[in-house]
Structure 1
Amino acid sequence: MNIGTAPAARAPLTDVLAVLSRHLQRIKAAPGVMILTQTMPITMLLFFGYVFGSALAMPGRDYRAFLVPGLLAATAANGIMVGMFQSSQDCQRGVMDRFRTLPMSRAAVPFGQTAADLLTTAVGMVPLILVGLAAGWRIEGGPLAALGGFGLLLLLRFATSWLGCWLGLLIRNEEAAGQLGSATFVLPLLSSAYIPTDNLPGWLRTVAEWNPISAMASATRELFGNASPAADAAWPVAHPVAGTIIWSLALLAVFVPLTVRRHARGGE
């Protein structure tokens, strides 16, 4: 698709679809980043679930049933790394400057990028879910609750991809974004994605429970019927569905306008 031939009267939705198509073609041509980000949770499931599973066993609970929703939550948060890498790569290679010279909506580029990431994430979660089912995890709640859980995962992924897109426009350097993106691996470790927060030191437990990934992990466990929220936890974990929605909407409210404005202004 040749975006450069777009007429000046194009509708914003047409621009978004054009950019979305460009990103899907980009992933098809160079699928390495997507493969890496989608296979990492499966590797973590096999590593933590089988290598460390016995050491991390919890009385009365199956650890792999606890782990799979946490890995899905970590996948949702991984939009930061992917969005940051893609935006910084386009900035460094001059693609963003080219977009700004075209008669198209300034919001279309980030919206198209984040929409493409949402679609690929929805597809990319399927292998993790299948491996999780093979490992013994089950969705024990009702179908509507389960659909709500997957909807929340995609909502948080959409929000974190906007944060990543803004960071990429800010950094504008592919190598720096790759290094910073690797640091985001720590975020799930400081949450309840992989381990319960009950036995953490007081200050660390507070940090972990106010981590949006903890709210997302607790929400998926609740909606999939794998565990109930901890009543004595911080508010986002004690009310994880509401907490995840609030975190996601807050991220979108802050970073959608910041990202659109940053793209429109270029390197200013």
Structure 2
Amino acid sequence: MTIDTQVHPSVGTATAARVVFGRTVATYRHSPALLGVSLAAPLGMVVLFGYVFGGTIAGDADPSAYRSYLMPGVFVLVASLGLMATAGTANADLSSGLTDRFRALPIARAGVPTGLALAETMIGAVALAAMMGIGYLVGWRIDAPAGEVALAVLLLFAFRAALSWLGILLGIAIRDEQVLQQAAPMIFGLIMLSNVFTPTEAMPSVVRAIAEWNPISAVVAALRELFGSGTAVAADAAWPMHHPVIAAFGWIAVILAVSVPVAVRQYGAQR
């Protein structure tokens, strides 16, 4: 007799999510180098842009001021690069047959992706905390009230959570591991087409419009504003640059609204 695991699950979402969460965290605990690898590229960007290019980009200004401007963008860079790590984990589970075994069990279909998303968000939070410590060492300081700082941290972790769900969706939608790996440069290109490293005002008009409507730019601008390292916004800048906090949370809501239901449905689909 075949058990209908989707209609009559005997294991609820919370229990399944807890099991998957523990399994994913254990992977990082037994292989701590994975966390170091996730920080390698952002750390390289801090050195490259903060110290190699920083003096040129800052011009006559104090290079340390540019590093303070740079660090919120690096935090978003850490969160964004975690997207491909999450996608890789979801794809590896799919390729190894683990996902199919989960599908065969009488568990709530939302449990597995929820547990994976929570684990990847927590790992991302550890990476972000480490990068904040590095930022402090290179001169980044917070100059904002406690309430705004708390909102900035909430925004950063919410963005990482949204990207965890998007990564899960990509990992199970793109079944070919090589194709998924080829998508990584595209993600990095999207990151570069933003205000992570430089203001958008000097960009050509079309490129500037794309950059200012880029969700990454909204999150970066919001963090700079909330952490107290923001700069004046040009009068002709796009709406997200004038209202970055609202725009950032709006983009997060859109990503979650698209990724969560589709990812849950895909996990419940028998293939």
The answer to whether 1:53 aligns with 2:54 is: yes
In structure 1, what is the equivalent of residue 36 of structure 2? 35
Report the alpha carbon displacement of residue 181 of structure 1 after superposing the two structures with TM.
2.2
Secondary structure of the 1:55 match is helix
Distance 1:87 1:151, change over 3 A: same
In structure 2, what is the equivalent of residue 248 of structure 1? 252
Given that residues 140 and 225 in structure 1 are in contact (C-alpha distance below 8 angstroms), is that contact kept between their aligned partners in structure 2? yes
Partner residue of 2:205 out of 202, 207, 210: 202
The answer to whether 1:153 aligns with 2:156 is: yes
Letter in 2 for 1:82: A
Letter in 2 for 1:99: F
Name stretches of at least 5 consecutive residues in structure 1 with no aligned partner. Answer: 1-7
Report the alpha carbon displacement of residue 59 of structure 1 after superposing the two structures with TM.
5.4
Report the alpha carbon displacement of residue 156 of structure 1 after superposing the two structures with TM.
0.9
Following the alignment from structure 1 to structure 2, what is the Cα–Cα distance between the partners of residues 262 and 229?
A: 44
Given that residues 78 and 127 in structure 2 are in contact (C-alpha distance below 8 angstroms), is that contact kept between their aligned partners in structure 1? no
In structure 2, what is the equivalent of residue 4 of structure 1? none
Report the alpha carbon displacement of residue 126 of structure 1 after superposing the two structures with TM.
1.8
Cα deviations across residues 124-177 of structure 1 (Å, max 9, x unaligned)?
112211111111110011122111111101111111111111111011233332
Secondary structure of the 1:263 match is helix
**What RMSD, in angstroms, separates the aligned Cα atoms of the two structures?**
1.6
Cα deviations across residues 8-41 of structure 1 (Å, max 9, x unaligned)?
6333211111110011112223344432222321
Cα deviations across residues 171-219 of structure 1 (Å, max 9, x unaligned)?
1233332221243111221000111101000000000001111001100
Partner residue of 2:262 out of 235, 249, 258: 258
- Following superposition, which runs of at least 4 residues in structure 1 exceed 6 angstroms of deviation? none
Following the alignment from structure 2 to structure 1, what is the Cα–Cα distance between the partners of residues 191 and 60?
A: 23
Q: Which moved more, 1:113-122 or 1:168-177?
A: 168-177
Given that residues 229 and 239 in structure 1 are in contact (C-alpha distance below 8 angstroms), is that contact kept between their aligned partners in structure 2? no
Cα deviations across residues 36-92 of structure 1 (Å, max 9, x unaligned)?
222321221111100111111155562101110011112222232122111111111
Aligned identity (percent) is 36
What is the total number of aligned residue pairs between the two structures? 260
Name stretches of at least 5 consecutive residues in structure 2 with no aligned partner. Answer: 1-8
